[in-house]
Amino acid sequence: AAKADGKGIHRFYEREMHANADDRRLLEMDLRTVLNDGGLHLVYQPVVNAGDEKIVGFEALIRWNHPTRGYVRPDVFIPIAEEIGMIPQIGEWVIRTACTAAAQWPEHIRVAVNVSPIQFLSPALPGVVMGALATAQLPANRLELEITEGVFMNDDAATDAMFARLKAIGVRFALDDFGTGYSSLGYLKKAPFDKIKIDQSFVRGAAIPGNRNAAIVRAIVALATSLDMDTTAEGAETLDELELIRSLGCSHIQGYVFGRPMPGDEVLEKVKGTATLNPSGFLASRSPR
Ligand code: C2E
Ligand code: MG
Ligand code: MG
Ligand code: MG
């Protein structure tokens, strides 16, 4: 039937596109007031040391519980928020909320926050970061900003200046989703990253024999190590992936195999007395998902 009626298919796609445009306009309207509506919250996913499986930090991930649609995925609404100019406000809320949460954790545990490329070039960002650290009384080196290669598509001088201003405050930098961007690698020479996060598309399936991802992960680890950067493997789901990633030399691991993103009060329970947390106990208590 599809072949017989090309026009029908065309009309179908047209309708879909209009529906999406309407949908988008509604999402835009709701996003403009989301900070007053209280629909946002953060969840936190553990990052563990590959060696001893101790928690070294949590990545803060934003969640939007929409009054009628339920949860809207961040990779859907963050790009819209960027386009309508809401990212500075939402981003500030994320940084403040994450710093306040982390201030209640043991002091060796860091918090990582995602900063979108547009937010990264907002001249207000250093002030926002300093304000959030001061209010929460959080030392700057416990805050890690996760940035994607997308920031390097923007004006070089402004990007360099922003790195310098933030570095002077003392925060750490992680290069997120490494390997998925257009990456010329040239920026690795000068941008002050403390860590490369290997995208989950290279981690997943890496343990399947003959899969080329393992070779790619090994090469990224070698690159990071020679540049004196840590590596976090993102999205390890299975014990096979965990073992392989460990054998390839990644220094840190983040993925469902250790824990899904969890609400802040669950984090508090988990990190209470972390100094003596038994790593295999942590591994054993992980729910088999
Ligand atoms: P990301 O920063 O790369 O975050 C990692 C994503 O992978 C998260 O999805 C996390 O839940 C998911 N993940 C972690 N481990 C596993 C695993 O083992 N298996 C699978 N299948 N997934 C795993 P999430 O929370 O949906 O976030 C998606 C993206 O949205 C993030 O990617 C980040 O780019 C963006 N994002 C999230 N929160 C924020 C925020 O506060 N601000 C900004 N600007 N972007 C955010
Ligand atoms: Mg991230
Ligand atoms: Mg990532
Ligand atoms: Mg991502």
Query: How many angstroms does the Cα of residue 11 sit away from the middle of ligand 4?
Result: 33
pLDDT in tens, 150-206: 888 877 899 999 999 999 999 999 999 998 887 678 888 888 999 999 999 999 888
Report the separation in Å between the CA atom of 42 and the middle of ligand 1, taken as the mean of its atom positions. 11
46 touches ligand 1 (CB under 6 Å): no
Query: In which residue are the tokens 């343990």 written?
Result: 207
**Ligand 4 center–CA 102 separation, angstroms:** 22
- The complex's ipTM works out to 0.98
The pLDDT tens digits for 52-108 are 999 999 999 999 999 999 999 999 999 999 999 999 999 999 999 999 999 999 999
Residue 266 vs residues 42, 242, 260: alpha-carbon distances, Å: 12, 23, 11
Beta carbon of 47 within 6 Å of any ligand 1 atom: no
Residue whose CB lies within 8 A of the most ligand 1 atoms, among 62, 114, 239, for a mutation test: 114
- Please state, in angstroms and rounded to a whole number, the distance separating the CA atoms of residues 95 and 114: 9
Q: Give the residue whose CA is nearest to atom 37 of ligand 1.
A: 61
